[in-house]
Amino acid sequence: MRAYPRGMASAAGPSTAPTAAPVDGIAPDRLAQLLEAQRALVEDLSLTDVLVRVVRVARQVSGARYAALGVIDEHGRLEQFVHDGMDEATVAAIGPLPRGRGLLGALVDHPQVIRLGRLSEDHRSAGFPPGHPPMSTFLGVPVRHHDEVLGNLYLTERRGGGPFTLADEQVVEALAITAGSAVANARVYQQAVQRQSWMRASAEISREIVAMGDEGEVLQQVADVVRHLAEADVVSVVRPSPPDHLCVQVASGLRQDELLGHRYPRAGSLAQQAMDTGQGLVVHRIGPEASDQEPWVHLTAVLPVVTAMVFPLRSEHQAQGAIVVGRLEGRPAFSRDSLQMAETFANQAALALEVAAARQSRERLHVLDERDRIARDLHDHVIQRVFAAGLTLQSLAAQETDPVLRPRLGELVEQMDDIIGQIRDTIFDLHEPEDRTSIRERLTAAAAEASQGAALRLSTGFKGPLAAADEHLGDLTAVVREGISNTVKHASASRVALEVSADERSLQVKIVDDGVGWEQAGPHSGLENLRWRAERLGGQLVLRDNPDGGATLVWRIPLQEAS
């Protein structure tokens, strides 16, 4: 038995490999190969390329048939597993990548060189999954940068059938030193690029918020940006839904339509924890291996998400919701740095939303003040003078005896009454933030867009003063679009009628069709979003079947509570 060079002892104790011949140094050809590989590594700043290159070079210089690099995250968990030597069919047959058990985990827990002549005889070996190629000899070497362990190189099945030698160990250790520096540099560069991307996105979203009027569009843009920059599979924005639930208002990524409108209890959820503490957090492992104390992640109701991060969507005084980000199996866990950058972006977006809302409120107040001034002038001056002129004409008509002139004067009096009525209507319209015709056109266009291409007849109707509809136009548009779309997709209807009505107390959208009815078609996830919109404003969503066939959707909110 012999000691490991430079004072490094094998994690297995004495080497279980047969004793190799004394090594005076690395052969010149291997040294040249190693130096060339080291030069290429330090020149590459792409983290993905560096990891792949390290594995391939380690396999070449060690003479191994199979090689892998297990990257360790900031919490000491196996984050990535990059491998080389197996074809795609073999990889697919094996299934999920290793998670750091057995010998792989031994190197993670105790980062020291392990060199074995027969892998199966080591008590730490956890065996192989079905379809895995046979492996006997083994060499494991930590990859360090200063005092930090970044990962481990795993090499198996030395070509020629013999065990790995001391020379193999030395050359891989030399490579690991360079690999540690290369990985660390690539990580720093990647973080710098990511920070720059997040900062640029923060500036862009602030500008876009000024141009966007609908909060839903803004949040959708936020979710899309977070998914792209965080390299996530799915993102959702959840908001409180009375009495004690959360609801997905916006989703981006895989199966986003199924997530949209998903409603679940606040208690024990990851999103609520972030909203309560005002701080973001990362869940490294979701699933059977997760702790029972881990908060529930609603994304798992639709997708097999295995890691997630969440951060609150904060206003000036409190969290208005949360953004939940997820990745599927085979993806690394989110880092603290990723969480910090995403949280900063979300804070900037929330601040921009508040500033834009405040600016719009000021502009709305200015417009309303100006309309009130014009309305007062019309009422106090124009109407009074026209009314006086009308009375004069009416008096002249009563005194006139000419059979031709008297009827003409009567017609002029009626025209003056019409003019006064039109001016009064104009005064009434000036008190509305947006004219009723424009609101009608926007809702009619939304209904037409949702029913485009469908073989059904659409009719629309509007009743009452729609002044309150301006404040809730975003909600109304979403209700009309989703309600009509649901009819097109699921009701098998030939006719659908849309009616939007308002009075002093409430605002209502009613959609009636002649289709199969709710009992047969069943409710769908998009309707939960409409329910959330109604409950958020103190209203309700009612779905009922019609006695003579078909279905009715009624979405109603109280204006007094909503205002």
Query: CA angle at residue 229 from 342 to 302, to 5 degrees?
Result: 85
Q: Evaluate whether 324 touches 310 at the Cβ level (below 8 Å).
A: yes
Tens digit of pLDDT for each residue in 540-552? 999 999 988 889 9
Element (H, E) at 501: strand 495-502
pLDDT on residue 141: 92
Report whether 417 contacts 391 (CB < 8 A). no
My answer on whether omega of the bond before 243 falls inside 30° of 0, hence cis, is yes
* Boundary (domain end) residue, out of 405, 430, 455: 430
Q: Report d(CA 321, CA 249) in Å as an integer.
A: 10
Query: What confidence score (pLDDT) does residue 97 get?
Result: 67
> Which backbone phi and psi does 220 adopt, to 5 degrees?
-65, -40
Q: What's the gap between Cα 282 and its chain centre?
A: 15
Same domain, 159 and 36: yes
**What are 26-35's pLDDT values in tens digits?**
667 777 777 7
CA distance 78 to 332: 8
Of 11-15, 51-55, 163-167, the one with minimum mean pLDDT is: 11-15
Distance of alpha carbon 159 from alpha carbon 140, whole angstroms: 16
In this structure, are residues 530 and 542 in contact, taking their beta carbons and an 8 Å threshold? no
Q: Do 373 and 328 reside in the same domain of the chain?
A: no
**Does residue 185 belong to any structural domain of this protein?**
yes
- Per-residue pLDDT of 480-520, as tens digits, reads 988 898 888 888 888 999 999 888 888 999 999 998 888 76
Task: Report if pTM > 0.75.
Answer: no
pLDDT at 322: 92
Residues 17 and 166 in one domain: yes
The domain boundary, picked from 430, 450, 480, lies at: 430
- Cα separation, 168 vs 164, in Å, equals 6
351 falls within a domain? no
- pLDDT over threshold 70, residue 131: no
Considering 430, 455, 478, which residue would you say is the last residue of a domain?
430
Q: Is residue 200 part of a domain?
A: no
Q: Is the pLDDT of residue 228 over 60?
A: yes
Rounded to whole angstroms, how far apart are CA atoms 385 and 510? 43
Residue 89 in domain: yes
The answer as to whether 463 is a domain residue is yes
CA distance 561 to 507: 11
Residue 117 maps to which CATH number? 3.30.450.40
- At 189, is the pLDDT very low, low, confident or very high (cuts 50, 70, 90)? confident
Assign 22 a pLDDT band (cuts: 50, 70, 90).
very low
Q: Residue 65 to residues 98, 100, 154, 159: CA-CA distances in angstroms?
A: 18, 21, 11, 6
Can you tell me the distance from the alpha carbon of 15 to that of 237, in angstroms, rounded to the nearest whole number? 54
CB 521 within 8 A of CB 532: no
- Worst-scoring range by mean pLDDT, 103-117, 147-161, 206-220, 522-536? 206-220
Q: What is the DSSP letter of 103?
A: H
The mean pLDDT value for 9-14 works out to: 38
Residue type at position 449: E
Distance CA 486, CA 530 (A): 11
How many helical (H) and strand (E) elements, i.e. helices and strands, does the chain have? 16, 16
**Residue 342 belongs to some domain of the structure:** no
Q: Give residue 107's Cα distance to chain centre.
A: 36
Residue-wise over 104-128: b if at least 16 C-beta within 10 A, else e?
bbbbbeebebbbbbebeebebbeee
Same domain flag for 398 and 292:
no
Distance of CA 481 to the CA centre of its chain: 22
Judged by DSSP in three states, 143 sits in: strand
User: Which range of residues forms the domain containing residue 498?
Assistant: 436-562
Shared-domain flag, residues 141 and 240: no
* Domain-located, residue 195: no
Per DSSP, helices labelled H in 378-404 are 383-399
What stretch of H or E contains 507?
strand 506-513
Residue 192: per-residue pLDDT: 84
Same domain, 251 and 146: no
Mean pLDDT confidence for 192-214: 75
Give the residue-averaged pLDDT of 356-369: 71
Which DSSP symbol is given to 214? -
Give the pLDDT mean for 150-160: 88
Task: Please give the tally of structural domains in the chain.
Answer: 4
CB 218 within 8 A of CB 209: yes
One domain, residues 220 and 179: no
- pLDDT score of 200 more than 90: no
User: Are 298 and 316 in the same domain?
Assistant: yes
| Secondary structure (3-state) at 471 | coil
Strand 540-545 to 551-558 pairing: antiparallel
Give the CATH number for residue 497.
3.30.565.10
Distance of alpha carbon 77 from alpha carbon 75, whole angstroms? 6
Environment class of 439 (CB within 10 Å of its CB; exposed 0-12, middle 13-18, buried 19+)? buried
Mean pLDDT of all residues in 340-351: 84
Instruction: Give yes or no: residues 91 and 9 share one domain.
Output: yes
| Domain assignment present for 203 | no
* Contact status, residue 78 vs residue 103, Cβ threshold 8 Å: no
- How confident is the model at residue 424, as a pLDDT? 64
pLDDT of residue 13: 38
- One domain for residues 330 and 294: yes
Backbone φ and ψ for 2, nearest 5 degrees, come out as -140, 160
Rounded to 10 deg, the angle between the 473-486 and 525-536 helix axes is 150
User: Same domain, yes or no, for 19 and 167?
Assistant: yes
Phi, psi angles (nearest 5°) of residue 268: 75, 5
User: What pLDDT, on the 0 to 100 scale, is given for residue 18?
Assistant: 34
d(CA 134, CA 127): 10
Three-class DSSP category at 267: coil
Q: Which residue has the higher pLDDT, 427 or 349?
A: 349
Integer Cα distance of 475 and 481 in angstroms: 10
140 CB neighbour count, 10 Å cutoff: 27
**Do residues 51 and 116 both lie within one domain?**
yes
What is the DSSP secondary structure assignment for residue 219, as one 8-state letter?
H
Residue 508, strand partner residues: 501, 556
pLDDT at 71 over 80: yes
